[in-house]
Amino acid sequence: MTRPLRAGFIGGGFMAAVHTRAATAARARLVALASSSPERGKHAAHHLEVDRAEPDADALASASDIDVVHVCSPNRQHAEHTLAALANGAHVICEKPLALTVADARRVVQAAEAAGRTGAVPFVYRYHPMVRQAREMVARGRLGTVLTLDASYLQDWLLEDSDHNWRVDARTGGPSRAFADIGSHLCDLIEFVTGRRIHRLAARTRTVFARRGGRPVTNEDIAALLIELSDGALGTLLISQVAPGRKNSLTLELHGTRESVRFEQERPEELWIGRRHGSQLLLRDPDGAAPDSARLSVLPAGHPLGYQDAFSAFVTDAYRAIRGEQPDGLPTFTDGLRAVQLTEAVLASAEDGAWIDTPPAQS
């Protein structure tokens, strides 16, 4: 039996809690955690049942007893914390965005390659069995040729001007918020499920409140995109963190020449199959599912899997990659770089109103 991986965590907020639960499910030892202050680190380590707190991120990144570092700090520090952990020989799972600029994201990708370490980014919606089912249906030609796609990612936790978080401050959150935070998930899923690149895009963004909590806000609450995939399919994307009643509503609907599919993240056990005659709601059932979907279907039909299960499946696959396996569909630092490239394209298009060609693969 292989020994458990020793995991360290930078950050002590909502995402760190999700990461520690996933690492436990993936049978890691939770060795150490550092947060924004020694006190916060101690509190979070205790609360999340991590063995010890380190006083700061530098101490955690240079610890000698950690195999994999989970970077869940504010966006501005992702690249710096990842580079420090890689320099110390650790593998890294880094929250998105991998960096705030394409140049920095590229540096991170190159550092992981040079160090021969695994780098993964939690585009975790890839890990819902019904997403894999949809992907396989597209790959096998069940839909015919994909003509259009209709996608959105809507939340409401920033609906009011009193709603505040480090993400709304461009200095800690970055120049893009709604797109970088949740639109990036949507674009990753579109490229993952269709197997096609978002070739061109045109974007409009809107910042609803110029100030929140008395402080200026420059990054966007809303982004609306037109996209064209590399095979000519056209799509519309609506991304908002100010949509009342929508909590974490990611939907992806593809229309092919024969069939359509629709996945809703808040109803992850279902896949709608649209047909001119006889549309159908497919329920998750490992029996008879596409192999990749069955692999991730860790509970029998009727025992619902959700967000945390998808996250745990992602961390399990990242750990398999660390052990030298090659799990299909693992989102790596290259996918993290891609998301930063798309974010820059969205901001550039929103700035000058033009269609932007996105960079080709691996550039």
CB of 113 to ligand SOE, least distance (A): 25
Q: Is the peptide bond before 175 cis (omega within 30 degrees of 0)?
A: no
Nearer to ligand SOE (CB atom), residue 84 or residue 168: 168
Total residues at interface with ligand SOE (CB under 6 A): 4
Q: How many Cβ atoms sit within 10 Å of the Cβ of residue 160? A: 13
Cα–Cα nearest to 307, from 131, 180, 151, 125? 125
Strands 280-283 and 270-274: antiparallel
Sign of CA dihedral 97, 169, 312, 17: positive
Least Cβ distance, residue 181 to ligand SOE (angstroms): 5
Q: Footprint of ligand SOE on residues 134-163 (CB under 6 A)?
A: 155
Map the footprint of ligand SOE across residues 236-275, applying CB under 6 A: 248
Q: Report the site for ligand SOE in 175-194 (rule: CB under 6 A).
A: 181-182
- Contact map string, positions 37 to 76, toward ligand SOE, x by CB under 6 A: ----------------------------------------
Residue nearest to ligand SOE according to CB distances in the complex: 181
**Using alpha carbons only, how large is the chain's radius of gyration in Å?**
20
Q: Which is nearer to ligand SOE, 174 or 256 (CB)?
A: 174
For residues 147 and 224, which CB has a smaller minimum distance to ligand SOE in the complex? Answer: 224
DSSP string, 334-345: HHHHHHHHHHHH
Please state, in angstroms and rounded to a whole number, the distance separating the CA atoms of residues 111 and 202.
32
132 touches 292 (CB < 8 A): yes
Of 49, 60, 58, whose CA–CA distance to 19 is shortest?
49
The CB-of-265 to ligand SOE minimum distance in angstroms stands at: 9
Least separation in angstroms between CB 162 and ligand SOE: 17
- Nearest distance from C-beta of residue 270 to ligand SOE, angstroms: 19
Complex with ligand SOE: residue 6 or 246, whichever CB lies closer: 246
Instruction: Note the residue count of the chain.
Output: 363
The whole-angstrom separation of Cα 241 and Cα 220 is 9
Closest CA to 20 of 315, 359, 239: 315
**Nearer CB in complex with ligand SOE: 118/155:** 155
- Quick one: 148 or 248, whose CB is closer to ligand SOE? 248
Smaller CB separation from ligand SOE, 182 or 187: 182
CB closer to ligand SOE out of 32 and 337:
337
- Letters for 69-108 (x = contact with ligand SOE by CB under 6 A, - = none) are ----------------------------------------
* Other beta carbons within 10 Å of 169: 20
Task: Give least dist CB 321 to ligand SOE, A.
Answer: 20
Task: State in angstroms the smallest separation of the CB of 155 from ligand SOE.
Answer: 6
H helices of 116-206, in order, are 129-139, 170-173, 178, 184-194
Which is nearer to ligand SOE, 256 or 336 (by Cβ)?
A: 336
**Minimal distance, residue 328 CB to ligand SOE, in Å:** 21
Cα→Cα distances 96→65, 172, 357, Å: 25, 13, 22
Applying CB under 6 A, the residues found at the interface with ligand SOE are 155, 181-182, 248
